[in-house]
Each structure stands twice: as C-alpha cells, then as structure tokens.
Amino acid sequence: MGTLAEEIFSYKLGRPVEQGETVVVEVDHVMSHDTTSPLAIQAFRKLAGVSSGRVFNAERAHVVFDHIIPASTVAAATLQRDVRSFAREQDITILQEGICHQVMPEKGFVVPGAIIVGADSHTCTYGALGAFGTGMGSTDIGVAYATGRSWFRVPSTINVRLVGELQPGVYAKDVTLEMVRQVGVDGANYRAIEYTGDLVERMSISERFTFCNMAIEMGGKAGLVAPDETTREWLRGRTDQEYPMLAPHNPRYERVFEIDASRLEPQIACPPDVNNVVPVGQVEHVKIDQVFLGTCTNGRLDDLAIAASILQGRTVHPETRMVVIPASREVYREALRLGYIDTFVQAGASVGTPGCGPCIGRHFGVLAPGERALTTMNRNFTGRMGDPTAEIYLGSPATVAATALTGHITDPREFLS
Ligand SMILES: CC(C)[C@H](C(=O)O)[C@@H](O)C(=O)O
Ligand code: SF4
C-alpha cells in the first residue's frame, strides 16, 4: 500500500517500507558518463578492498560517452582515453550512441520496478517507464559500482495530475514548463513526483520522458509514471526481462497539483530560472541568435518530427543559427529515413552527432557575450551555453522551429498547417 515510489522500494526489499525510512537496496543498473566517470572511477578505486578491484557486475555497470563527443579538447580526449582503459579493464562496454538517458532505455535496461542510479542529475528520466531512477554524485556512483548497492531515504511524493486535451501547437514540454512554474524549482526537494491523470495516460513514452526528465528541475529525486499498456508496447522488442507492473495503492501524497492542460498556451522559461515561465505571447519580441533542438528532454523522433513539419520547405532566418542534435543513433537513423534530417539541412541547420551537444556549453554551438538562445533543453542557468552574459530561453520543439524561421521568439501556432 503506498505511492509508486514506496511500491518500488517495497517490491525490491520484499517488505513494506515507509516514507522517510532509510534503506539500502541492490540497484539494477549503475551509470556514469564521460564527464562524471573520472571521479566515479577514483571513488571506486578507493574501495578496492571491498570490491576486489572489480565492478559488481559488468553487465549492469554502464559508461556512456555523450557529453563531449567527439572530444573537443585535448583535456576531454585524455579523460576519455583514461575512462576507456578503465572500461576495458572491467569488461564494461562503452555506449557511444547518444545521450545516456535516451540510450539506457533504448537498450532495455530501464523497466518498471527497477532501481537505477546514475552520475547525472537527469537520471530521473527513467521514471517514464515506471523505474526509480535517480542522479547521484560521482562518489556515490563509485560505491555503487563497487558494491551494487545504494542507500536511499524513501521519499514522500508530490502528485501532479494532468488533465484535459492539449490544444494544437501545445506539447508535453509546455505542460512541463507550466508544472515547474507552479511547483517551483525547489518545490519537490527530495520528493518523488508522481504524474497521473488522463493526459498522462494518453501520452506516449517520449512525452512521459519529457515530464520525468524535468522532475529534477523542481528538486525531485525521481519523476514517476505508473506502467501501463503504452509502457509494455514501448518495451516490446527492447527487453526479454520480466518486470512487475507496479501501481500506487491508496497512496498518501504530500501534496497534489492539478493542471488542466486544455487551457494552456505554448510556454517559455525565461533566463535565469526554469520556473520563470510565461506564455509565449509575452516574449515574442525577443531576438534569438541561436536555436537548439535536441537533448534528453526533447531530442527524440516525435520532437524532430514536429520541428521538421514546421521547417519543411522553409529557411532558417539569416541572422539565426539552428543546431539540431538527435538524442540517439536510433533516433538519428529514423529521422534520416523519414527525411527529417534532410529537411533540417535544407533549411540551413547544423546537424550534430547524437549526444548532449551544446546543452552544457562544451562544444558545437556555444554562445558569445550577450547572445540569446531558445532551446528545447531543461535548464536555462546563467553561463550554461557559453559566455555568462548570454541568455537561454526554453521552449518546445515547435516553438524552437518557428523561432528559427523568424529570428525572434515566435508562437508556433502561426505555422500550423
Ligand atoms: C555534467 C553532468 C554532471 C550534468 C548533470 O548531472 O546534470 C549535466 O548532464 C547537466 O545536464 O547539467
Ligand atoms: S542532454 Fe543536457 S541535460 Fe541531458 S544529460 Fe546531456 S547535458 Fe545533461
């Protein structure tokens, strides 16, 4: 009996747990990426006595290269070389085919009821498939690599109920931004967020990824959606694993937010905070130097499809650059097959290799002093994409595509055919 988070921990431990209780559990998968692996490896090495120098399970320990690939500096290349040699020594396969939070689910590692820890704050994305995924510091991940276990305080849960039908031109990202506006950037600190309601039930896994990905933008430990037929369908062919269809039972939520999406307009998060959210109409005059379509929030096939439908046969504004980065190789190949990539290239966009791209300002499209970007990312923090005086606005793939065409923030409903 409990929230989805409690159900998952109870299932793992084989006994009922209570909110606030500290538990040690065996984790299903542990992940770090090119940027966080070096410190995780250092922590792991210190535990050589505990682990006999081997990771707990090479099939369940994952290293993903996604943040700065291909390496853009000698320093990055050197760190990656060192991480490669660690992976070789431990028989870990390095995954280099897209953003960790896209690739881990695609590989079938993320299933309902699983507990997954990652050295990346957006590990909460995995809740879209009913798994408890959470980000941890590299040291904790080093310990998990060594022992296959982690400690948690079973979180209390905030319930976000999403109801109603979205209007044309309004997407999961707009709902997510509205959610962050209402809950606040620390409104869910150390809590799980459980998304329910008829809108969530109708949404695709990709859209659920967008919600869950941004749970951390409200301070959430995890973002969760109870698995259903849509989840099963998405997992079919990706995993042979058996998994439990856990659901909340008489949950005791700490707080409930209800959002009626049917009245929602496209939303924009203005710099420098993710909860600084306004309807697109209020910022339409803002001139944009660069748009970026991609990331673990909105770099999937449906996101690319929406943007391609707006850009089809049109050209990016001459004073705006457009960067497009598919979230994974799987997404990239499908986008090629369906002609979306051709549409982007014809429109004048730069298309990058799957990965995080300019999301943390390390390569492939950093911003000059005073420049402004509109992106499909999850964070608009000062300095994130380059110079600290550059500004970042967040919106949906549709708003990004419409803005690419006009050079200023634009309501995508103007381009709906
Ligand atoms: C580099 C990494 C530690 C970081 C994170 O944990 O979130 C990054 O992925 C981000 O999105 O800011
Ligand atoms: S795409 Fe951006 S938010 Fe996602 S993991 Fe990469 S850097 Fe972090």
Which residue in 152, 151, 144 sits closest to 62, CA to CA?
Answer: 144
Ligand nearest to the CA of 35: 1
Q: Is the pLDDT confidence value at 417 over 80?
A: no
Ligand-binding site membership of 356 (annotated): yes
Q: What is the pLDDT of residue 51?
A: 79
Per-residue HEC secondary structure of 109-174 comes to: CCCCCCEEEECCHHHHHHHHHCCEEEECCHHHHHHHHHHCEEEEECCCEEEEEEECCCCCCCCHHH
Q: How confident is the model at residue 277 (pLDDT cuts 50, 70, 90)?
A: very high
Which residue in 222, 360, 362 sits closest to 295, CA to CA?
Answer: 360
Q: Can you tell me the distance from the alpha carbon of 173 to that of 265, in angstroms, rounded to the nearest whole number?
A: 11
Ligand nearest to the CA of 354: 2
Spacing, Cα 377 to ligand 2 middle (Å): 8
Spacing, Cα 182 to ligand 1 middle (Å): 24
Spacing, Cα 135 to ligand 1 middle (Å): 9
Spacing, Cα 121 to ligand 1 middle (Å): 6
Q: How confident is the model at residue 343 (pLDDT cuts 50, 70, 90)?
A: very high
Q: How confident is the model at residue 316 (pLDDT cuts 50, 70, 90)?
A: very high
Q: Can you tell me the distance from the alpha carbon of 208 to that of 4, in angstroms, rounded to the nearest whole number?
A: 15
Q: What is the pLDDT of residue 231?
A: 98
What are 84-141's pLDDT values in tens digits?
999 999 999 999 999 999 999 999 999 999 999 999 999 999 999 999 999 999 999 9
- Contact at 8 Å (CB) between 280 and 265? yes
Report the atom number in ligand 1 closest to the C-alpha of 296.
Answer: 11
Question: Ligand 2, residues 95, 101, 124: which to mutate, most atoms within 8 A of Cβ?
Answer: 101
Q: How confident is the model at residue 50 (pLDDT cuts 50, 70, 90)?
A: confident
Report the atom number in ligand 1 closest to the C-alpha of 356.
Answer: 9
Question: Ligand 2, residues 66, 104, 356: which to mutate, most atoms within 8 A of Cβ?
Answer: 356
Pocket of ligand 2 (CB under 6 A): 67, 99, 101, 120, 122, 295-296, 356, 359-360, 377-378
Spacing, Cα 101 to ligand 2 middle (Å): 8
Spacing, Cα 120 to ligand 2 middle (Å): 8
**Average model confidence (pLDDT) for the chain?**
97
Residue nearest to atom 12 of ligand 1 (CA): 360
* Interface predicted TM-score of the whole assembly (ipTM), two decimals: 0.99
Spacing, Cα 13 to ligand 2 middle (Å): 31
Domains of the chain listed by start with CATH number: 8-259 (3.30.499.10), 268-415 (3.30.499.10)
Report the atom number in ligand 1 closest to the C-alpha of 384.
Answer: 12
Q: How confident is the model at residue 223 (pLDDT cuts 50, 70, 90)?
A: very high
Q: What is the pLDDT of residue 337?
A: 98
Q: What is the pLDDT of residue 398?
A: 98
Q: Is the pLDDT confidence value at 265 over 90?
A: yes
- Tell me which DSSP letter residue 354 carries: S
Ligand nearest to the CA of 40: 1
Residue nearest to atom 2 of ligand 2 (CA): 359
Spacing, Cα 139 to ligand 1 middle (Å): 15
Q: What is the pLDDT of residue 52?
A: 85
Ligand nearest to the CA of 357: 2
Ligand-binding site membership of 296 (annotated): yes
Report the atom number in ligand 2 closest to the C-alpha of 357.
Answer: 1
What percentage of the chain exceeds 70 in pLDDT? 100
Structure tokens at 254: 């700490």
Average pLDDT over residues 10-15: 98
Pocket of ligand 1 (CB under 6 A): 35-36, 67, 120-122, 135, 360
Q: Is the pLDDT confidence value at 1 over 80?
A: no
Which residue in 183, 361, 208, 195 sits closest to 273, CA to CA?
Answer: 183
Q: Can you tell me the distance from the alpha carbon of 28 to that of 42, in angstroms, rounded to the nearest whole number?
A: 22
Spacing, Cα 116 to ligand 2 middle (Å): 17
Question: Ligand 2, residues 69, 296, 303: which to mutate, most atoms within 8 A of Cβ?
Answer: 296
Give the CA distances from residue 241 to residues 234, 247, 353, in Å, rounded to whole numbers and listed in that order. 13, 18, 30
Strand ranges for 205-276 from DSSP E:
222-224, 255-260, 267-269
Ligand nearest to the CA of 34: 1
Report the atom number in ligand 2 closest to the C-alpha of 378.
Answer: 3
